[in-house]
Amino acid sequence: MKEKLKERLVEVLAATYARVNWRRVAGRKRSTHDIFAHRIKASAYQDTVPRFIEKLCHSLSLQSIPAEPETIEMLDQNREEVLEALRRETVYYTLLAAKEARGR
């Protein structure tokens, strides 16, 4: 995946990760990384990137995320590559997103 595309994908995932109320979603016994990875993988089987984001947000009880529509459109123009990467490299993208979200 091109570096610019990867950066934008991580940016959107980090924005999502940062908005989640992890105390409510994860409780005490489950890892936030495990939950986020599972939700990404389950959502990555959508047809488009906007639908992926919609499903991911819904599964994490989010109404919205602070992402630019242009970024989502750019990711959607490369939807096959983006969604395939999320399905095959879920843990990697989870770790990148969590790291960036903590740095905010």
More confident residue, 104 or 82: 82
- Taking the complete model, does pTM exceed 0.85, yes or no? yes
Give the residue extent of every domain in the chain.
Answer: 3-103
Which pLDDT does position 104 carry in this prediction?
66
pLDDT tens profile 21-39: 988 887 767 789 999 999 9
CA distance readout (Å), 24 to 17, 32, 103: 13, 11, 22
Runs of H (alpha helix) within the chain: 3-19, 22-26, 32-43, 49-59, 69-77, 79-88, 90-103
The stretch 53-63 carries a mean pLDDT of: 96
